[in-house]
Amino acid sequence: MPPDPGPASCRLQLPGSMRLALAQLNPTVGDVAGNTQLVLEAIERARGDGADVLLAGELGLIGYPPRDLLFRAGVVEACQQAVKQIAAHAGEMVVIVGHPRRSTGGSGVLRNSASVCSQGKVLAVYDKRLLPGYDIFDEDRYFDPGGEPGVIEAAGWRLGLLICEDLWQARDARTDRTYPIDPVDELAAAGCEVMLCLNATPYSRGKWQRHLQQLRVVTDRYGVPIVTVHQVGANDDLIFDGRSVAVAADGSITALLKGWEPDLQTIELSARGAARRVAVSADLVAVPPDAGEVTAELFGALVLGVKDYCRKSGRDEVILGLSGGIDSAVTASIAAAAVGPDRVVGVMMPSRYTSAASREDAAQLAANLGLTRCHTVGIELLHRAVGDAVAPSLGDRAGGVTDENIQARIRGVLLMAFSNAMGGLVLATGNKSELATGYCTIYGDMCGALSVLGDVVKTRVYTLASWINSHHGRCGFDRPPIPQRCLSKPPSAELRPNQVDQDTLPPYEVLDEIVERYVELEQSARQIIEDAGLDPETVYQTVQMIDRAQHKRDQAAVVLKVTARSFGGGRPMPIVMKWQEPEMARPESVEAAKSVGSAVPNPGRKDEVAK
């Protein structure tokens, strides 16, 4: 274990102007050897560019987020050994790399650190000072904060080191959290002429543009350039978009790395600041971005999420049900773009209620995408067999919601059979609106390894579908993949005759506004009614549905996070709770809630809303 080199303040004697390499890498959590190799390869590329300094991402040697893997014996020590290996390969170059470490002589206190390596040594270490503990972040569970600003003097430049939250300071989060110190202000007070930030900030809709705006506030306030290197790729539910960026003292972008893939660029720092390295499209940096670019980002994020989940888990095939509906069509399109159509297995499972239009649309989707393996497995015989088996015991109770959920669960069993036989990962196709309200079936349509659209509300699924068709070439398709009828017909689970979603749910335009306000903005029912002007009973009933469906979400597939507030680890709500806003507890509200039947579940029912 290398000795603790102390606070990150050192003088590095480098001749001439400084060439700074930005290494935007895609680490896999826990693959210390593989992640170290990524850094070593970046060092060689940067050396070929004549770089003096290489900057990599936050916790890049272990991958972000490591979560409780940090408690596993030997993990942190392996990262610290990797730092020594990097120092040995750095040569005259200065390499700044992120990793966890044990401080105070290895006594057990963990830090989120950046080591400054050169000439076979660790010259300095900077420890992250602001540790986020909101949304999906729980760094204050694992790390102690650092105490000293990180300052490096290199080739006549005084450089300041920051790690992620040290720079962003929760200003982009929906939280009241504030910090007692401002590391950026301290670096400016220390006379730093350039600020360097190691990042592992997950993607959410519009965040990159908001962060760019924050960077411009920093450059305007302090009159210094700032360079941020971001992680790229996906780990579990989190997606990292890359797009590392250098912003000059005047707020202009002087370097922009690729989105959604690894990249490395080298810029030169001179007395005039960072020289322009690439021409930057105004469309990429608009604040706020236009609707088309937001949708393009969403598509890129979901494709990367599926691709890396498969690649990093060692699976090269995915399996999903093709219903002829919009959700499965969009999920299949994303899957085909992520792993290739030859690695997507589609399973059509028609029942007695499946319309001819749905069968045709599912087949047309498969043909448009070029899926080479599609299977049709009718569920009629299984449906009848299960119904006949339970009818003697359940009588009339075997119908209605019970019968609808039997169909959904039969389909789940069939998909998992394909998974067991073929080894592919099952993709759940449900959307955020369904997951929010519980309009889904545990062990049925909710089964799978990964929920691709679980953070995308229904109306945005339609927007995404239209964008995919309009930009099919950009998505890698020869033709618009999604049949037009999927976009125009009323959405239906087709679990009973003439069923449509709006028999049970409010119109999706209304439902999605309530979901986004209640879940993503944390607005109360009263706020939603006042701000959006929506019908009070519709709002009350919907938020009750959301709260009562928590037990389903706790058993759902991993949801790819693409909004500021997704279902999953960042929203750990209690399953059993009795809190209600006072106005929601009034008798007329309770009676109205009961009147809509299964749309607002009764306590104690096993599977309240069929889908």
Residues marked as catalytic:
58, 128, 164
Cβ atoms 264, 24 nearer than 8 A: yes
For the chain, the maximum distance between any two Cα atoms, rounded to a whole number of angstroms, is 87
Cβ atoms 406, 387 nearer than 8 A: yes
Closest-CA residue to 136 (of 575, 566, 573, 574): 566
Q: Which residues fall within 8 angstroms of residue 69, CB to CB, at 6 or more apart?
A: 29, 30, 62, 75
Closest-CA residue to 570 (of 172, 211, 173): 173
Q: Which helix (H) or strand (E) element contains residue 346?
A: strand 344-348
Q: Listing from the earlier edge strand, what are the strands of the sheet with 344-348?
A: 373-376, 344-348, 318-321, 425-428, 450-451, 558-559
Three-state secondary structure call for residue 363: helix
Q: Which residues fall within 8 angstroms of residue 349, CB to CB, at 6 or more apart?
A: 321, 323, 376, 377, 378, 379, 410, 411, 414
Burial of 47 (0-12, 13-18, 19+ CB in 10 A): middle
Rounded Cα distance between 297 and 305, Å, is 12
Three-state secondary structure call for residue 427: strand
Q: Tokens 């940067």 correspond to what residue?
A: 46
* DSSP conformation letters of 248-312: -TTS-EEEEPPBSS-EEEEEEEETTEEPP-S---GGGS-SSPPHHHHHHHHHHHHHHHHHHHHHH
φ/ψ (deg, to 5) at 476: 95, 15
Cα distances (Å, whole numbers) of residue 587 to 544, 582, 584, 600: 14, 11, 8, 15
Rounded Cα distance between 8 and 391, Å, is 72
